[in-house]
């Protein structure tokens, strides 16, 4: 599946009243530029993912291959992981049928919040106007990818957060 998305820091956390987060735990099985990712959603959904960039100069478009896993398979592969991260994800509706995926990181990255919007086509991507609570566009910044963030602390990425 071709994924087309934009990513932002969060300037101000939006109201989350009545929204239930999805607990996400993800691990990376290698240190390559496009590593295999293991992901657990809550306690009941597991998958193995490979993201393949469409272009080395554009981090916003990737081919994404997801393979569902059984809990036992996830546990076996988890032992091979090099690094990981935890976050809470909230899904918030946006105009034009879009939705924001707000990630609030936990553990060593506590304090970091980012938001992504996936687009069904190029026209909706071009029309998109970020809501007021969205911060700086970090779509093309490699440090902002989860594969880079895994295993890092907030202190380690703070210089990137302060950059304009």
Burial 83-100 (b: 16+ CB within 10 A, else e): bbbbbbebebeeeeebeb
Per annotation, catalytic residue among 8, 28, 90, 105 = 28
Give Cβ neighbours of residue 75 (< 8 Å, ≥ 6 apart): none
DSSP state of 102: E
Query: Is the alpha carbon torsion for 89, 21, 155, 31 positive or negative?
Result: negative
DSSP H helices in 94-152: 122-127, 146-149
Q: Which two tokens stand for residue 159?
A: 């210089």
Residue 8 among the catalytic residues: no
| Cα–Cα distances in angstroms (integers) from residue 22 to residues 30, 40, 43, 146, in the given order | 25, 10, 10, 16
Catalytic annotation, residues: 28
């Amino acid at each position: 599946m071709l994924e087309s998305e934009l990513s932002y820091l969060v300037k101000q956390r939006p109201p989350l009243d009545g929204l239930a987060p999805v607990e996400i735990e993800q691990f990376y099985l290698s240190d390559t530029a496009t590593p295999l990712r293991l992901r657990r959603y809550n306690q009941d959904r597991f998958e193995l993912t490979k993201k393949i960039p469409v272009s080395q100069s554009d981090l916003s478009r990737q081919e994404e291959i997801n393979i569902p896993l059984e809990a036992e398979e996830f546990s076996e592969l988890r032992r091979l992981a090099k690094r990981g991260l935890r976050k809470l994800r909230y899904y918030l509706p946006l105009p034009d049928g879009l939705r924001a995926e707000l990630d609030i990181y936990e553990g060593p990255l506590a304090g970091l919040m980012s938001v992504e919007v996936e687009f069904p086509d190029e026209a909706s991507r071009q029309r998109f106007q970020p809501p007021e609570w969205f911060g700086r566009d970090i779509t093309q910044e490699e440090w902002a990818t989860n594969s880079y963030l895994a295993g890092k602390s907030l202190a380690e990425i703070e210089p990137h957060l302060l950059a304009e």
